[in-house]
């Protein structure tokens, strides 16, 4: 199992890697982590890790098949064409226009696709940290993040077991865990507070008529994600939390309700007052399936402006999803 983290400018050096099969943790600045079944990477970063601005922009973006031209022998990526140059250029322009400090991404080809995109098309965008979290998706699509802010911890829950009520799950090991991943990154906000962002890409609706298998899988993933967030908040004591990504279901669907139960009171849906609320468009239908959910404490940092869904000609060229972003205030120390 591999989680790769690239610090483009600060020369992170990896000191040690212990491989086991359950959860992966990346620790920056020599933070000690010993919590059971985990991959542990200890590293250090040159220079201070501090957030200088009083605000930050958090965004999510399903970039629709950001595949490169290199074959991955471990996945069935042959069925997906490399993203054309015109679409890559539009995508890069869209990402730059977001001016995001933290960008959570979905539908990246596992491996070097995001690294190459960041080093070439996004070389002047200022993203100094890159997270690539491979998944069990047969096409090889992964989830990840680009940030301008230091990342002090990464946790993957790729192999966390699900309680999937659909009968087929009993004989299909893949349905017994996340279809992609629930990954976590910790971003220091000041000397004492941390923003914990969970990136999530729930199972798609490409199952069958009525989507019985996919619906059960999505709900199981959402319930597990909420349980993981609850448990980690209780155990570690952090309070500023965002669950972000493409959840492949509408705001009134059971998986969204399940995710919001990660906190009490329920997590805030920052798109509730956004109109029109359409984050996915194709010739057949339009839906609202991309989200930024905030814990009660994180919601108090939100500037209160409805989440922005970027809709323009450039967005239509870049992806079938539209990026979503919000602005958060950084708490005083």
The stretches of 99-211 forming alpha helices (DSSP H) are: 113-119
Q: Give tens-digit pLDDT for 42-88.
A: 233 433 345 557 999 999 999 998 976 444 544 444 455 678 899 99
pLDDT of 180 over the 60 cut: yes
3-state secondary structure (DSSP) of residue 331: coil
Radius of gyration from C-alpha coordinates of the chain: 18
- The Cα 105–Cα 246 span in angstroms is 9
Highest-confidence range of 19-28, 223-232, 277-286, by mean pLDDT? 223-232
Q: Measured in Å, how far apart are the chain's first and last C-alpha atoms?
A: 37
Q: Is the pLDDT of residue 28 over 60?
A: no
Residue 203 has a pLDDT of: 92
Mean pLDDT across the chain, nearest whole number?
82
pTM of the model: 0.84
**Among 177, 174, 181, 257, CA closest to 220:** 177
| The predicted structure's pLDDT at residue 280 | 97
| Residues contacting residue 232 through CB under 8 Å, at least 6 positions apart | 184, 196, 238
Q: Find all residues with CB under 8 Å of 98, minimum gap 6, and list them.
A: 57, 59, 61, 310, 323, 325
Write the CB contacts of 308 (distance below 8 Å, at least 6 apart in sequence).
274, 324, 325, 326
The torsion angles phi and psi of 58, rounded to 5 degrees, stand at -110, 130
So what's the pLDDT on residue 47? 38
Which of 1-15, 186-200, 314-328 bottoms out in mean pLDDT, i.e. has the lowest? 1-15
Mean pLDDT of 270-289: 94
* Contacts for 49 with CB less than 8 Å, ≥ 6 apart: 28, 29, 150, 152, 188
Residue 179: give the domain boundaries.
Answer: 4-329
Selection from 333, 332, 328, 325 nearest residue 104 by Cα: 325
Which of 13-22, 44-53, 125-134 is predicted with the least confidence, judged by mean pLDDT?
13-22
Distance from C-alpha of 309 to C-alpha of 289, rounded to nearest angstrom: 12
Are 323 and 311 in contact by the 8 Å Cβ rule? The answer is no
CA distance 82 to 105: 17
- Tell me what percent of the residues of the chain surpass a pLDDT of 90: 60
Q: Which residue has the higher pLDDT, 18 or 164?
A: 164
Query: CA 177, 250, 281: angle at the middle one, nearest 5?
Result: 105
Least confident of 29-38, 151-160, 196-205, 311-320: 29-38
As beta bridge partners, residue 195 has 187, 240
CA-to-CA separations, 137 to 144, 158, 189, 277, in angstroms, rounded: 14, 11, 33, 28
Per-residue confidence (pLDDT) for residue 72, from 0 to 100: 54
The CATH number that applies at residue 56 is: 3.60.10.10
Q: How many domains does the chain have?
A: 1
Flag the least confident range among 20-24, 155-159, 184-188, 256-260: 20-24
- Give pLDDT, residue 239: 98
Integer Cα distance of 294 and 267 in angstroms: 5
Report pLDDT for 164.
Answer: 78
Q: Residues 259, 202: contact at Cβ < 8 Å?
A: no
- Give the residue-averaged pLDDT of 77-103: 86
How sure is the predictor about 40, in pLDDT bands with cuts at 50, 70 and 90? very low
Average pLDDT (228-239) is 98
Rounded to 5 degrees, what are φ and ψ at 315? -60, -40
Q: Are 259 and 279 in contact (CB under 8 A)?
A: no
Q: What mean pLDDT comes out for the span 89-102?
A: 97
Of residues 68 and 245, more confidence is placed in 245
């Amino acid at each position: 199992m591999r989680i790769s983290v690239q610090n483009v400018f600060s020369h992170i050096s990896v000191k040690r890697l212990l491989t086991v099969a359950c959860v992966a943790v990346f620790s920056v600045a020599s933070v000690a982590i010993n919590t059971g079944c985990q991959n542990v990477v200890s590293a250090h970063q040159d220079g201070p890790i501090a957030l200088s601005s009083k605000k930050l922009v958090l965004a999510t973006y399903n970039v629709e098949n950001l595949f490169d031209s290199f074959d991955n022998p471990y996945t069935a990526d042959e069925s997906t064409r490399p993203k054309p140059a015109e679409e890559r250029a539009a995508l890069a322009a869209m990402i730059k226009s977001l001016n995001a400090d933290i960008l959570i991404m979905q539908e990246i080809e596992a491996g070097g696709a995001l690294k190459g995109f960041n080093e070439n098309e996004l070389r002047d965008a200022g993203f100094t940290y890159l997270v690539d979290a491979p998944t069990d998706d047969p096409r090889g699509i992964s989830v990840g993040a680009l940030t301008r802010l230091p990342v002090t911890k990464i946790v993957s829950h790729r192999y966390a077991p699900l309680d999937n009520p659909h009968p087929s799950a009993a004989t299909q090991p893949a349905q017994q865990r996340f279809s992609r991943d629930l990954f976590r990154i910790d971003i220091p906000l000041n000397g004492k507070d941390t923003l914990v962002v969970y990136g999530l890409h729930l199972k798609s609706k490409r199952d069958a008529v009525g989507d019985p298998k996919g619906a059960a899988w999505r709900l199981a993933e959402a319930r597990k994600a909420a349980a993981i967030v609850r448990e980690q908040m209780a155990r570690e004591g952090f309070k500023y939390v965002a669950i972000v990504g493409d959840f492949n279901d509408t705001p009134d669907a059971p998986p969204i309700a399940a995710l919001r139960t990660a906190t009490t009171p329920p997590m805030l849906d920052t798109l509730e007052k956004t109109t029109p609320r359409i984050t996915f468009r194709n010739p057949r239908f339009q839906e609202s399936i991309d989200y930024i959910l905030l814990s009660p404490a994180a919601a108090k940092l939100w500037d209160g402006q409805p989440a922005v869904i970027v809709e323009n000609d450039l967005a239509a060229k870049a992806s079938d999803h539209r990026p979503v972003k919000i602005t958060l205030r950084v708490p005083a120390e």
